[in-house]
Amino acid sequence: MNIILLGPPGAGKGTQAKRLVEERGMTQLSTGDMLREARTSGTEMGKRVAEVMDRGDLVTDEIVIGLIEEKLAGPQGGGFIFDGFPRTLAQADALGALLEAHDQVLDVAIEMQVNDDVLVERIVGRAEEARAAGQPVRADDNEESLRVRLLAYYKQTAPLIGYYHAKGLLQVVDGLGEIDAVAADIKAVLG
């Protein structure tokens, strides 16, 4: 089964993806994680995207599509969870074509619905928790970048809700509840 977790920053996509990896042996493909890894390892691409990411804007379609293309060529056990990808209509089209080229289908796009106040609380909370634990804080987990990230979501990513609805692939879950409750709703969608 291949699924997309769709939702604004702070909706809980990463948290739920990790649950699905543990419980169903699926493979999480988070373009955000891949880009952060590229930065940490100091690759040329990592250096190029750093400023864009810290500002909260989207990096180019070409870069993230390339990252996903590499992963789709790798091991596919348990199905893929696309987390934070696609984020634009061009990425959604590219994903469809890549899956087809690998004789795969997309089974469902799950929209995790939350409200903006909760997102701000969660992201600020995530930064505070990391700081308290002496862990590195994401450079884009601050209020200014969050505003840019939210705008990018509404302008560039939210149209994917209509896109997948039109394809008959959209399912909606309430992302406001406790982690376990959201996980149960996702489980019910996946059957």
Is residue 64 at the binding interface for ligand AMP, with CB under 6 A as the rule?
Answer: yes
Q: Using an 8 Å Cβ cutoff, are 152 and 58 in contact?
A: yes
Among 38, 110, 112, 140, binds ligand AMP (CB under 6 A): 140
Q: Does 56 bind ligand AMP (CB under 6 A)?
A: yes
Q: Among 89, 85, 63, which residue's Cα sits nearest to residue 162?
A: 89
- Restricting to residues 79-138, name those near ligand AMP by CB under 6 A: 84-85, 87, 91
Among 1, 45, 50, 52, binds ligand AMP (CB under 6 A): 52
Q: Which residue stretch of 30-38, 73-81, 102-110, 127-135 sits at the interface with ligand AMP (rule: CB under 6 A)?
A: 30-38
Among candidate residues 36, 39, 87, 122, the one labeled active-site is 87
Least distance to ligand AMP, CB of residue 183, Å: 19
27 part of the interface to ligand AMP, by CB under 6 A: no
